[in-house]
Amino acid sequence: MRRLILAPLLALLAACGASDDRTELVVQRFFGSCQADYGAVNDPTKADGECGIMTALINRFEADNPDIRVVENVVFWPGYDQLTAQLAANGPPDLVTMHSSAISDYEARDLLEPLNPVLAQAGVSPESFTPAARAGVMVGDQVMGLPIDVWAPLWHINMNLFRKAGLVRDGRPILPSSPEEFDAHARQFHERTGKPYLVQVTDKDFAGPMRIFYMYVMQQGGAPFRDARHSNFNSPEGQRALGFMRDLYQQGHSVRNQDYAGAVSTFLKGEGGVLIDGTWMVGQFTAASQREDSALADGYAVRPFPAIFKERNVSLVDGHNWVMPRDERRTQAQREAAARFLRFFADNNFQWARTGHFPAYTSIIESAAWRALPHRSDIAVLTQIGEPLPRFVRRQSPIEFIVGEEASAAFTGQKSVDRALQDMQRRADEILQSF
Amino acid sequence: MAMGDATLRSRLSQSAPWRRWSGLLFVAPYLLLFAAMLILPLIIGLRLSTTRSDLFGVKAEVGLENYARLFSDPVFLKAVGNTFYFVALTVPALTIIGLALALVLNNASRWSAVLRAVFFASTVLSVTVVTLIWRLVLIPDGGLAAVIARLFGQAPIAFLSDPVLAMPAIALTTIWWGIGLPMVLFLAALQQVPRDLYEAAALDNASRPRILFSITLPAIRRTIALVVIIEIILQFQLFGQAQLMTGGGPNNSTRPVVLFIYEAGWKQWQLGYAAAAAQVLFAMIAIAAMAQYYVSSRKEPA
Amino acid sequence: MSALRRPPPLAVVAVVALAVLMLVPMLWVLILSFKDNTALLADTASAFVPPYTFANYRNIMGEGQVFTWLMNSVIVSLAMTAGVLIVSSLAGYGFARLEFPGRKILFVVVLFGLAIPEQAVIIGRHQIFSALSMHNSYTALVVPGLSMPFGVFLMTQYFRAIPVEIDEAAMLDGASRFRIFWRILLPLTIPAQATLGIFTFFQAWNDYWWPLISATDGQMYTLTVGIAATQVNFAQAEGLGFLMAQAVFAGLPTLIVYLIFQKYIVRAVAGAAGQ
């Protein structure tokens, strides 16, 4: 009986696995799964959003390279728990999406393969990367990844509500340039629209609060980390940053109880003025603004995170890259396939930049085509004022999680600012000193 | 089989030493698995707990440092507290509701059969489906609870964002998921209660509560103890619901020990520390189960 | 008599109300799964009014992934069930009926194993399979589950309850140990096999933590892990209706199996605890 059930199953499996002499390239990525909408699309120009464009790009690559079988492994964001487990299990994928900030975590443990030879084979020169993209992947003279973008947290603005709130001049949004102004604008906004000024992630997903906190610390000229073993969150800058976030929330200037998906849909529904979210949403919000039934219809603008604390005009930036985890079993044929894959992504970087991300290649960022994309001139300044998290911190990813968790506990009033900063620093330092 | 039989039989009858050891052959496959998948990992875990290591190797021997660190780590201590709180929220509820359902549904009518099916059905769903369902009930933006609240003109409650309500919400989800098991166990026990006890009670005109407390409950007391122990062991292992519904937040109010272990080992690359926490969890479960066993066995009349 | 055993009406009302509460979340997810994603984005309350659509289910059918996961879950659960039944029956017979050196102490050790929770050994297991480079395989997903002492305990108890006279009669007829086990005693344990089998199947089907860290390759995900991956995706690209359809799709097989075998499952679960 049991054998009766198992036999056909096993036979079917064997049939699936057998007789394919194409080179297998295992590609692991986040950006979500959208096979339902884009599974059959292999023209990237016909796709929108991170998930759609990424899916279409990979479909295109497969269509162009019939001798390579791409096995696509979509993981939940950011996918590092899983990658770590795979590396420990000696079975990592051939190429993985990785944030620039996380590269040092893996590079420090010698878990990534420098891409110099692969890129040379592919004919991609690191010289072609933008300075910000290059800074994200270079360790000494070794190239640890192929950058596909540089991104930053932005202010996505509902201009229809801003107009109603009297915060538009000459068709441009009026943004605060000090904590006091921030408070005044938010108050005025709420009085005239009845809605909160700020739409932000307040719980469950830690990334949003973490980035805002880092941003405010950096704007004050503070440094989140002292050295490779010590964080510096419990500082005057940290106090002021978190205290300010808390004040905004306590004054009712922010939405409440939003996870990431909730915050995005709240903004799309027109339930708040400013959404703090990354470059990746520019394309999607632009598309929404072109639909008549949208709350953003004809009323979407985007700006760099304004300098609320003016000590430094700086913005946190990060980037997405393809990296190659070390794997002794990887064959030369697979390396060649990877080289072609990377070349393809370098060549098609414009399509990826349509998401809203900054291109990772000088030729594209300087091209008329990119500058002609909507809203890009409004945020282009970020290529000059962007600054990544320090490379010497070699557990960036778990620390980001802790910073986000503690920051949201503090600004939503569940915990005192002092206590949160102490815990943040202690927990981060424990990790930094644990290896 | 037929082929081996003759030789086996002749060998069995021939050699006494072979016969003496042949029994071991039957238990050997299991003992091998037991040693490889339970005892060996336990030893590896114990060993790792005295080291500083990540998933890629051991860095240093640190003795009992990890344990010392655990007991001064507020996040871990909170996780222990959260775990006990969760057990306290779920185990009595599962036991009492399960028992109540079993008492009401312990009859042969068709409606009882349907209702038993309803209460057991959720048990067969996997944790990821259960949490998906309940997030969609509880989230304030468009969740069912919020939709209903709005119908009555009330502001929706953000169960999973409130440090006071988040754990009860996870407990509610868990009770919804797991109520079938205790109910079925109690039903089975109730079937075993001798009918003549009830008949005698009926002759005495005993009241319902009296029958319940002086006949039914004493008769199934072993099952009650069993259900409590099973549930304690199960609920101490809370992981998926917290990981998927709240990620341990808000403000660390729903992080159970198992999630702590997972994060320490896989997210933060502190495998030795995670291993130490796993041993503490092991001890906690063992002590709680033993205490419960001790309490319930002491009540037994000598 | 019968009046006494009939529950009081108030209790019946309460139980029916509870039953409705049990069903409502499932029905909610069911109707969401028949709604258009954009309509739900605007307002989930739109789920209560038409139009409804099968699009989400069509999309699942168009996407191979869920089927791969489903297949993995089926294979892993069946293999683990078969393995546990075989190994536990052999061991149960050995411990209950045969004499060999160390039998008593070994059985006590196995009983001690009952107290070890998965969490206490999962790190060690992960290390072992890492060292063998055997993660992302059916072996890694199935083998740890075979070490559950519960099955051995259950089968030992069951074999012990079978009268020894049966073996002795067979022995006199010259049957071998294995033959007695295979042809005579094993058929008598079918109720216990059913109990253990069903228990193991559902446990394997719902296992979450181990597959989460061992099956990290999308092709090797079990349904539980696969659904988790879509559930916590940063960009909820697929939309709510699709996610709900996936939940229904993932939950349906076990619900159907349950409804078909309801009687046996309930009896089996109760039987397992009775031992």
Q: DSSP for B140-184, please give it.
A: TTT-HHHHHHHHTTPPPP-GGG-TTTHHHHHHHHHHHHHTHHHHH
Q: Specify whether B19 is located in the same domain as B145.
A: no
The answer to whether residue B60 is domain-embedded is no
pLDDT of residue C174: 83
Over residues B80-89, mean pLDDT: 97
- pLDDT at residue C21 greater than cutoff 90: yes
Contacts of A23 (CB under 8 A, 6+ apart): A67, A68, A69, A331, A333, A334, A336, A337
Question: Could you tell me if C11 lies within 8 Å of chain B, comparing CB atoms?
Answer: yes
- pLDDT at residue A53 greater than cutoff 80: yes
pLDDT of residue B90: 98
Each residue of B224-263: pLDDT tens digit? 988 998 899 889 999 999 999 999 989 999 999 999 999 9
Q: Specify whether B133 is located in the same domain as B18.
A: no
- pLDDT at residue B2 greater than cutoff 50: no
Contact criterion met (CB < 8 Å) for C258 and B120: yes
Would you give the end-to-end CA distance of chain C in angstroms? 31
Each residue of C188-206: pLDDT tens digit? 888 888 888 888 998 898 8
Q: Are strands A95-99 and A318-323 parallel, antiparallel or unpaired?
A: antiparallel
Each residue of C139-192: pLDDT tens digit? 999 999 999 998 999 899 989 988 988 888 888 888 888 888 888 899 988 888
Banded pLDDT at B3 (limits 50, 70, 90): very low
Chain B positions touching A431 (Cβ under 8 A) are 268-270
* Residue among B37, B38, B101 minimizing CB distance to C15: B101
Contact criterion met (CB < 8 Å) for A257 and B158: yes
**In angstroms, rounded to a whole number, what is the distance separating the alpha carbons of residues A398 and B248?**
14
What is C162-184 written as a DSSP string?
Answer: S-HHHHHHHHHTT--HHHIIIII
The CATH number of the domain holding residue A189 is: 3.40.190.10
Chain A positions touching B267 (Cβ under 8 A) are 80-81, 84, 397-398, 401
In a mutagenesis test of the A interface, which of C41, C56, C84, C233 is the best target, namely the one with the most A β-carbons within 10 Å?
C233
**In angstroms, rounded to a whole number, what is the distance separating the alpha carbons of residues A193 and A185?**
12
- pLDDT at residue B87 greater than cutoff 50: yes
* Residue among C100, C116, C269 minimizing CB distance to B21: C100
Question: Could you tell me if C269 lies within 8 Å of chain B, comparing CB atoms?
Answer: yes
Banded pLDDT at C271 (limits 50, 70, 90): low
Contact criterion met (CB < 8 Å) for A33 and C233: yes
Q: How far is C255 from chain B (nearest CA, A)?
A: 7
Q: Specify whether A88 is located in the same domain as A220.
A: no
Q: Which residue has the tokens 């038409």?
A: C50
Q: Name the least confident of A107-116, A186-195, B101-110.
A: B101-110
Question: Could you tell me if C51 lies within 8 Å of chain B, comparing CB atoms?
Answer: no
Q: Specify whether A146 is located in the same domain as A161.
A: no
The mean predicted confidence, pLDDT, of chain B is 88
**In angstroms, rounded to a whole number, what is the distance separating the alpha carbons of residues C95 and C103?**
7
Top-confidence residue, B141 or A357: A357
Over residues B205-234, mean pLDDT: 88
**In angstroms, rounded to a whole number, what is the distance separating the alpha carbons of residues C161 and C80?**
26
Over residues C30-34, mean pLDDT: 91
pLDDT of residue B252: 93
Q: How far is B44 from chain C (nearest CA, A)?
A: 5
Would you give the end-to-end CA distance of chain B in angstroms? 51
Contact criterion met (CB < 8 Å) for B75 and A427: yes
Over residues C3-18, mean pLDDT: 80
* Residue among B23, B211, B258 minimizing CB distance to C100: B23
The answer to whether residue B82 is domain-embedded is yes
The CATH number of the domain holding residue B116 is: 1.10.3720.10
Q: Specify whether B42 is located in the same domain as B71.
A: no
Q: Specify whether A108 is located in the same domain as A162.
A: no
- What's the token pair of residue C98? 């045969």
Chain A positions touching B74 (Cβ under 8 A) are 423
* Residue among A85, A266, A430 minimizing CB distance to B266: A85
Chain C positions touching B116 (Cβ under 8 A) are 266
Q: Specify whether A295 is located in the same domain as A261.
A: yes
**Chain-centroid distance, C-alpha B44:** 24
The answer to whether residue A256 is domain-embedded is yes
Q: Specify whether B12 is located in the same domain as B140.
A: no
> Which sequence spans correspond to the domains of chain C?
2-55, 64-232
Q: Specify whether B287 is located in the same domain as B218.
A: yes
- Neighbours of B (≥3 Cβ pairs closer than 8 A)? A, C
- pLDDT at residue B196 greater than cutoff 90: no
Domain tally for chain A?
A: 2
**In angstroms, rounded to a whole number, what is the distance separating the alpha carbons of residues A202 and A404?**
9
Contact (Cβ atoms closer than 8 angstroms) between residue C268 and residue C261: no
Q: Specify whether B114 is located in the same domain as B203.
A: yes
Domain's final residue, options A360, A378, A396: A378
Chain B positions touching A266 (Cβ under 8 A) are 141
Q: Specify whether B223 is located in the same domain as B254.
A: yes
Identify the domain containing residue B30 by its residue range: 2-48
**In angstroms, rounded to a whole number, what is the distance separating the alpha carbons of residues A35 and A39?**
4
Over residues B45-69, mean pLDDT: 94
Contact criterion met (CB < 8 Å) for C235 and A71: no
Q: How far is C225 from chain B (nearest CA, A)?
A: 8
Q: Specify whether A275 is located in the same domain as A201.
A: yes
Contacts of B264 (CB under 8 A, 6+ apart): B270, B271, B273, B274, B277
The answer to whether residue B238 is domain-embedded is yes
Q: Name the least confident of A200-214, C35-49, C259-273.
A: C259-273
**In angstroms, rounded to a whole number, what is the distance separating the alpha carbons of residues A370 and A351?**
10
Q: Specify whether A35 is located in the same domain as A110.
A: yes
Question: Could you tell me if B196 lies within 8 Å of chain A, comparing CB atoms?
Answer: no
pLDDT of residue A94: 97
**In angstroms, rounded to a whole number, what is the distance separating the alpha carbons of residues B35 and A223?**
51
Q: Specify whether A89 is located in the same domain as A177.
A: no
Chain C positions touching B126 (Cβ under 8 A) are 205-206, 208, 223-224, 227, 250-251, 254
| Amino acid identity at A242 | L
Q: Are strands A386-387 and A198-199 parallel, antiparallel or unpaired?
A: unpaired
Max avg pLDDT among A285-289, A320-324, C207-211: A320-324
Percentage of chain B modeled with pLDDT above 90: 57
pLDDT of residue B32: 96
Q: Are strands A274-278 and A198-199 parallel, antiparallel or unpaired?
A: parallel
Q: Specify whether B140 is located in the same domain as B19.
A: no
Domain's final residue, options A357, A378, A399: A378
What is A188-217 written as a DSSP string?
Answer: HHHHHHSS-SEE---SS--HHHHHHHHHHH
pLDDT of residue A308: 95
**In angstroms, rounded to a whole number, what is the distance separating the alpha carbons of residues C68 and C203?**
20
The answer to whether residue B59 is domain-embedded is no
The answer to whether residue B56 is domain-embedded is no
pLDDT of residue C194: 86
Q: Specify whether A161 is located in the same domain as A181.
A: yes
Q: Specify whether B114 is located in the same domain as B218.
A: yes
Q: Specify whether B38 is located in the same domain as B77.
A: no
Q: Specify whether A210 is located in the same domain as A303.
A: yes
The answer to whether residue B61 is domain-embedded is no
Q: Specify whether A191 is located in the same domain as A225.
A: yes
Q: Are strands A315-316 and A386-387 parallel, antiparallel or unpaired?
A: parallel
Q: Specify whether A233 is located in the same domain as A284.
A: yes
pLDDT of residue A360: 96
The answer to whether residue A15 is domain-embedded is no
Contact criterion met (CB < 8 Å) for C216 and A82: yes
In a mutagenesis test of the A interface, which of B52, B54, B141 is the best target, namely the one with the most A β-carbons within 10 Å?
B141
Identify the domain containing residue A184 by its residue range: 153-317+388-432
The phi and psi torsions of B176 (rounded to 5 degrees) equal -60, -40
Nearest alpha carbon to residue B26 among C192, C96, C150, C171:
C96
The mean predicted confidence, pLDDT, of chain C is 86
pTM, entire model: 0.92
Q: Which CATH number fits domain C64-232: 1.10.3720.10, 2.60.40.10, 1.20.120.1460, 3.20.20.140?
A: 1.10.3720.10
- pLDDT at residue B54 greater than cutoff 50: yes
- pLDDT at residue C234 greater than cutoff 60: no
Question: Chain B: residue nearest C206 by CA?
Answer: B126
* Residue among C4, C208, C254 minimizing CB distance to B125: C254
Chain C positions touching B134 (Cβ under 8 A) are 25
What is A231-293 written as a DSSP string?
Answer: E--SSHHHHHHHHHHHHHHHTT-B--S--HHHHHHHHHTT--SEEEEEGGGHHHHHHHHTSTT
- pLDDT at residue C265 greater than cutoff 80: no
Over residues C224-253, mean pLDDT: 76
* Residue among B118, B128, B261 minimizing CB distance to C19: B118
The answer to whether residue A3 is domain-embedded is no
The answer to whether residue B272 is domain-embedded is yes
**In angstroms, rounded to a whole number, what is the distance separating the alpha carbons of residues A271 and A248?**
17
**Chain-centroid distance, C-alpha C63:** 25
Tell whether the torsion through CA atoms of C84, C87, C91 and C93 is positive or negative. Answer: positive
Q: Which residue has the tokens 């001790």?
A: B294
pLDDT of residue C195: 82
Q: Specify whether B146 is located in the same domain as B44.
A: no
Q: Specify whether A99 is located in the same domain as A172.
A: no
Domain tally for chain B?
A: 2
Percentage of chain B modeled with pLDDT above 70: 92
H or E stretch covering C62 = helix C55-62
* Residue among C11, C178, C231 minimizing CB distance to B128: C231
pLDDT of residue B214: 87
The phi and psi torsions of A38 (rounded to 5 degrees) equal -120, 5
The answer to whether residue A4 is domain-embedded is no
Question: Could you tell me if C147 lies within 8 Å of chain B, comparing CB atoms?
Answer: yes
Contact criterion met (CB < 8 Å) for B24 and C100: yes
Percentage of chain A modeled with pLDDT above 70: 96
**In angstroms, rounded to a whole number, what is the distance separating the alpha carbons of residues A269 and C44?**
13
pLDDT of residue C49: 84
Q: Measure the CA angle with vertex A202, ends A153 and C237; round to 5°.
A: 65
Q: Specify whether B175 is located in the same domain as B292.
A: yes
Each residue of A108-132: pLDDT tens digit? 999 999 999 999 999 999 999 999 9
The answer to whether residue B249 is domain-embedded is yes
Question: Chain A: residue nearest C86 by CA?
Answer: A2
Contacts of B90 (CB under 8 A, 6+ apart): B171, B174, B175, B178, B231, B235
Contact criterion met (CB < 8 Å) for C94 and B26: yes
* Residue among C147, C232, C247 minimizing CB distance to B38: C147
Chain B positions touching C116 (Cβ under 8 A) are 38, 42, 282
Over residues A418-428, mean pLDDT: 97
- Neighbours of C (≥3 Cβ pairs closer than 8 A)? A, B
H or E stretch covering A68 = strand A68-74
3-state SS of C222-239? Answer: CHHHHHHHHHCCCCCCCC
